[in-house]
Amino acid sequence: MPANIKHKKKSLKTCRRSKNNAGNLYAVIIAGGSGTRFWPLSREDTPKQLLSIGGREPLIQSTVTRISAVIPLEQTFIVTNKKQMESINLQLHASTGKPWDKRFIIEPEAKNTAPAIGLAAVYLKKLNPDGIMAVLPSDHVVKDSGRFCSALLSASKAASEGYLVTIGLKPDKPETGYGYIKCGKKIKDGVYIAAEFKEKPGKELAKKYLKDGNYYWNSGMFIWKADAILSAFKKHMPDLYAGLMKIEKAIGSAKETETISLVFASLKPESIDYGVIEKAKNVAVIPAEMGWSDVGSWHALGYILPVDSDNNVKHGNIISIDNKNSILYCGNRVVAAIGLDDMIVVDTADATLICPKNRAQEVRKIVDVLKERGAKECVTHRTVFRPWGSYTVLETGDRFKIKKIEVKPGAKLSHQMHRHRSEHWVVVAGTARVTNGDKAYDVHLNESTYIPMSTKHRLENIGRIPLEIIEVQNGEYLEEDDIVRFEDVYSRKTEN
Amino acid sequence: MPANIKHKKKSLKTCRRSKNNAGNLYAVIIAGGSGTRFWPLSREDTPKQLLSIGGREPLIQSTVTRISAVIPLEQTFIVTNKKQMESINLQLHASTGKPWDKRFIIEPEAKNTAPAIGLAAVYLKKLNPDGIMAVLPSDHVVKDSGRFCSALLSASKAASEGYLVTIGLKPDKPETGYGYIKCGKKIKDGVYIAAEFKEKPGKELAKKYLKDGNYYWNSGMFIWKADAILSAFKKHMPDLYAGLMKIEKAIGSAKETETISLVFASLKPESIDYGVIEKAKNVAVIPAEMGWSDVGSWHALGYILPVDSDNNVKHGNIISIDNKNSILYCGNRVVAAIGLDDMIVVDTADATLICPKNRAQEVRKIVDVLKERGAKECVTHRTVFRPWGSYTVLETGDRFKIKKIEVKPGAKLSHQMHRHRSEHWVVVAGTARVTNGDKAYDVHLNESTYIPMSTKHRLENIGRIPLEIIEVQNGEYLEEDDIVRFEDVYSRKTEN
């Protein structure tokens, strides 16, 4: 991380020279998420921000695109954990054509938003003492990018004056699942002092807020100077601030990573809302309307995908008879639904969810049960994406595993070896270049080859069309971590 | 058919010599069924009577076992269609240890129950002019076999006196889905003249019948002399009778099969209830209680499988949170259900059904949609059983198909050839004896072999444990009917 930040410094100075606010403006995209709310579509390794809902681009990609109109990609950072970094990098590299691995800020463990934001603030202040950070969730939907951008620019201006700015969204229904902010004294046109905060009000209160017209939803989008939020931490979260100062000192030293881990291990989880926003006096609100959804549960699909005349969202191989107000979401498997009302049905290759809409929040409980059972259905999908393509587990036996492997034209897997399994490969599309011990040879459509245990090997698509192979693994241990890597174009340490 | 009937004649005469009614008593099990009511568990090639519901033995097997206490297996015939014959034979051969293929009466096409029963009556009368046939559905549940048997014996006695006997079941709820029979004048103890028939009454009427105590459910179990039902056809269904007489003449001749096909093609579909029972004057009822269910829809699962304290039937890899009065039935895939009440959820490898209990009858509509689409999910399961074992389709591509094939110890597939595909086989359990063109060799665990297109080959399990192989097919046409058979221990003409 320090290395990349030093790298960036040069170009940043160039930007700052323009004396433009935007030159000091950085995006800090918060991409945590445990993959529970959208189970079974989301998994531990495919959290909400990486979902292609209804075939649309992943939410994090839309977020990056939206921000890029105001903030250059080089000034966009992503706070996430180590596990998700590779998938996000893969996604953004593919969509922006640039590697993102130098612009990740890694939380060693999840401690809610305040520590994550604090960590980003420390790095950013080091990078640019006048830096303004726009803290933006990675997994929200914003339909009106233009309004989003102008709110962001107004916020940036107010932030440069020292305010902790939050974007307040005009409610259009008495939602009980969000926090509300009341606008107080006007600072200037379109900017108000935040007068009151209310977390998830009851139905009656939410109706009152909606009618009042002066209450706004807390969007989770915050804009402030790195310096200003650190001052706020000093005042309202002194323990966090002390930890952040330790990290600040360690940045660039050999102890950087270790220090961050130690500090995070000692921190109490805390949200930025509860820890700072609800306490600080210099919080400003910029009310906005931008066609926003936090995509907080399966409900939100009706906001993202089209609904039919019976108010159903239908996606995939659905056979629907007389359903209404329901979300029927599946892939290739047949899902037949009759006479449902206000229901959610979500089907994936290995798991199905059925629940009434008003109990969508309880999906977390299902994920908890799966975790307790050590079940893979909360961790990973049958199809796993890799920088070189993807694989799909077709069948798992006691001592065998069958995968379909797809390799993009020109891509190659790492030069690797397995201690506990041998592999039969049969090519069903394209041509494979195979390195097998000391030999290298091509395997064509309808040909096969065999990779013995403990033999160095590599699979490569030297052709013009996707390569598809069926891999039959035999062995007594068949997990992904049985891999020794000798060389990898994607610089990975573990997994295919 | 004629051949086997002549065979049986000898042993029959021996039985008849005992002057025991049972010697003249034959079971005619009606095993049609289109696999619609229990979709997605039932399919065209796996109708209800072949389902192992909740891991229990298939209903047709229970039916055969139940009958065998009263009627010898050799006097038990099965009326079905050509498509289902092999699966039923396979199932009954495995469970009774005897081949059944000589005791099938094949309907060339489905024309409801009257023609099917008429066809059986003609054969049976030829076999034994005094023959009494117990027409029994293949797919009902009877919990009290003892009472079933005594009802059957009483019925057989009444039938020998010329009555068309039906077993009437004492209702325990005002069911609107069944036909009702009113008992009239007493013929003798436990036997009454049928005074009135009522098909599927409304709720109020059904309640009245239940209270009255003299109305019974029409069980679909009929006992009569072959001669008596043919006389009834002559009177009430003269067209059917005329057709049956043509068939009778053709039996044993070269034109037998052709005649049956021609006659069936000309017949109107008709139920035995509407065509005969509701019109004939000599219908007798034997009231009985035997813990019966016609397993007419997914509802019935609560009668077959245990229910939990919330009145749910749960089977398979279910995660259940706060559900009640529901049927949650699945296999290995995870099915997570929250807050359901009076719902049916049924999940199989390739299809899922969700509907409220009170709309279970509409499952047929789903099957209709699948048929229109030409979808395989109404015809066959991913796993298909064969006399030698089973195969599971793991993946289907444009020009490839992946199967897992399991071969029982000692079993072998036919000596065969494919015109349009080659096959790679990788052994993942057991040892395969492979015939490949002129060569025969063994393929062991973690070894593979290749069968080129248009090459005669055979797969055999010569070992002591089940053989499992992964088959990767490559070709431009990958259907089951691309097979040329040279020799088959199971005398099959098409399919693996």
Are B287 and B307 in a shared domain? no
Are B78 and B131 in a shared domain? yes
Instruction: Report chain B residues whose CB lies below 8 A from the CB of A369.
Output: 319, 336
Out of A336, A353, A399, the one facing B351 most closely (by C-beta) is A336
* CA-wise closest residue to A416 among A316, A489, A337, A333: A489
Q: Which of A314, A332, A362 is the last residue of a domain?
A: A362
State the nearest Cα–Cα gap between A139 and chain B, in angstroms: 25
Phi, psi for A161 (deg, rounded to 5): -90, 5
Out of A335, A354, A450, the one facing B337 most closely (by C-beta) is A354
pLDDT value for A496:
55
DSSP characters over B470-490: EEEEEES---TT--EEEE-TT
B265 interface with A at CB cutoff 8 Å: no
Are B307 and B281 in a shared domain? no
Q: Do A354 and B345 touch (CB under 8 A)?
A: yes
Specify whether the CB–CB gap between A404 and A410 falls below 8 A: no
A465 interface with B at CB cutoff 8 Å: no
Lookup result for tokens 């039985």: B15
Q: Do A424 and B426 touch (CB under 8 A)?
A: yes
- A222, two tokens: 């915050």
Are B356 and B454 in a shared domain? no
pLDDT value for B18:
37
Whether the predicted pLDDT of A21 surpasses 70: no
Over residues B108-167, the pLDDT tens digits come to 999 999 999 999 999 999 999 999 999 999 999 999 999 999 999 999 999 999 999 999
pLDDT tier at A28, thresholds 50, 70, 90: very high
B177 interface with A at CB cutoff 8 Å: no
Give domain status of residue B425, yes or no: yes
The model's pTM: 0.89
Q: Do B377 and A334 touch (CB under 8 A)?
A: yes
Q: Do B448 and A445 touch (CB under 8 A)?
A: no
pLDDT value for A22:
58
* 3-class DSSP state of B339: coil
pLDDT value for B115:
97
Using CB atoms within 10 Å of the CB of residue B21, give its burial: 0 to 12 exposed, 13 to 18 middle, 19+ buried. Answer: middle
State the nearest Cα–Cα gap between B320 and chain A, in angstroms: 8
Q: Do A354 and B335 touch (CB under 8 A)?
A: yes
Specify whether the CB–CB gap between A102 and A73 falls below 8 A: no
pLDDT value for A340:
98
Are B172 and B246 in a shared domain? yes
Instruction: Report chain B residues whose CB lies below 8 A from the CB of A335.
Output: 351-352, 354
Q: Which ipTM value was assigned to this complex?
A: 0.88
Give domain status of residue A273, yes or no: yes
Q: Do B400 and A350 touch (CB under 8 A)?
A: no
Over residues B14-56, the pLDDT tens digits come to 333 334 455 899 999 999 877 789 999 999 888 999 998 888 8
Are A134 and A225 in a shared domain? yes
Out of B339, B398, B450, the one facing A356 most closely (by C-beta) is B339
Are B228 and B129 in a shared domain? yes
Mutate one of A36, A352, A431 to test the B interface: name it (highest B CB count within 10 A). A352
Full residue range of the structural domain in which residue B211 is found: 11-293
Out of A353, A395, A470, the one facing B336 most closely (by C-beta) is A353
Give domain status of residue A377, yes or no: no
Q: Which of A293, A325, A345 is the last residue of a domain?
A: A293
Q: Do B428 and A400 touch (CB under 8 A)?
A: yes
Instruction: Report chain A residues whose CB lies below 8 A from the CB of B372.
Output: none
- A110, two tokens: 């999840």
pLDDT value for A52:
87
Mean of pLDDT values over A367-378: 96
B472 interface with A at CB cutoff 8 Å: yes
Distance CA B165, CA B225 (A): 10
In this structure, how many other beta carbons lie within 10 angstroms of the beta carbon of residue A107?
A: 19
Return the higher-pLDDT residue of B365 and B6: B365
Share of chain B above pLDDT 70, in %: 95
Whether the predicted pLDDT of B12 surpasses 60: no
Q: Do A345 and B354 touch (CB under 8 A)?
A: yes
Instruction: Report chain A residues whose CB lies below 8 A from the CB of B350.
Output: 333-334
Distance CA B112, CA B271 (A): 5
Question: Do strands B439-443 and B432-436 pair parallel, antiparallel, or not at all (unpaired)?
Answer: antiparallel
Give domain status of residue B85, yes or no: yes
Helix residue spans in B196-269 (DSSP H): 203-212, 226-236, 238-250, 256-266
CATH number of the structural domain spanning residue B432: 2.60.120.10
In this structure, how many other beta carbons lie within 10 angstroms of the beta carbon of residue B286?
A: 27
pLDDT value for A101:
84
Are A355 and A413 in a shared domain? no
pLDDT value for B9:
41
Give domain status of residue A373, yes or no: no
Over residues A389-403, the pLDDT tens digits come to 999 999 999 999 999
Whether the predicted pLDDT of A98 surpasses 90: no
State the nearest Cα–Cα gap between B390 and chain A, in angstroms: 15
* CA-wise closest residue to A100 among A143, A129, A63, A126: A63
B471 interface with A at CB cutoff 8 Å: no
Give domain status of residue A492, yes or no: no
Are B28 and B156 in a shared domain? yes
Whether the predicted pLDDT of A432 surpasses 70: yes
Per the structure, how many domains does chain B have? Answer: 3
Out of B39, B352, B398, the one facing A335 most closely (by C-beta) is B352
B363 interface with A at CB cutoff 8 Å: yes
Mutate one of B372, B394, B426, B450 to test the A interface: name it (highest A CB count within 10 A). B426
B440 interface with A at CB cutoff 8 Å: no
What is the 3-state composition of chain A as percent helix, strand, coil, each rounded to the nearest 5?
35, 30, 35
Q: Do B472 and A426 touch (CB under 8 A)?
A: yes
Whether the predicted pLDDT of B249 surpasses 70: yes
Are B470 and B426 in a shared domain? yes
pLDDT tier at B177, thresholds 50, 70, 90: confident
State the nearest Cα–Cα gap between B375 and chain A, in angstroms: 9
State the nearest Cα–Cα gap between A220 and chain B, in angstroms: 29
Are A260 and A128 in a shared domain? yes
Specify whether the CB–CB gap between B280 and B188 falls below 8 A: no
Nearest residue of A to residue B392, measured between CA atoms: A395
Q: B 30-69 residues with CB below 8 A of A?
A: 39-40
Nearest residue of B to residue A319, measured between CA atoms: B366
pLDDT value for A14:
35
Q: Do A356 and B340 touch (CB under 8 A)?
A: yes
Are A316 and A287 in a shared domain? no
* 3-class DSSP state of B318: strand
B216-229 as b/e: b if 16+ CB within 10 A: bbbbbbbbbbbbbb
A452 interface with B at CB cutoff 8 Å: no
A274 interface with B at CB cutoff 8 Å: no
Give domain status of residue B494, yes or no: no
State the nearest Cα–Cα gap between A298 and chain B, in angstroms: 14
* CA-wise closest residue to B432 among B408, B413, B459: B459
pLDDT tier at A17, thresholds 50, 70, 90: very low
Lookup result for tokens 């096969």: A448
CATH number of the structural domain spanning residue B79: 3.90.550.10
Instruction: Report chain A residues whose CB lies below 8 A from the CB of B402.
Output: 394, 402, 404, 470
Q: Do B394 and A402 touch (CB under 8 A)?
A: yes
B378 interface with A at CB cutoff 8 Å: no
- Least confident piece of the model among A16-20, A197-201, B255-259, B294-298: A16-20
Q: Do B352 and A353 touch (CB under 8 A)?
A: no
Return the higher-pLDDT residue of B378 and B6: B378
B321 interface with A at CB cutoff 8 Å: yes
* CA-wise closest residue to A2 among A251, A209, A198, A237: A251
B397 interface with A at CB cutoff 8 Å: yes
Q: Which of B293, B313, B329 is the last residue of a domain?
A: B293
B129 interface with A at CB cutoff 8 Å: no
pLDDT tier at A11, thresholds 50, 70, 90: very low
Give domain status of residue B334, yes or no: yes
Mean of pLDDT values over B413-433: 97
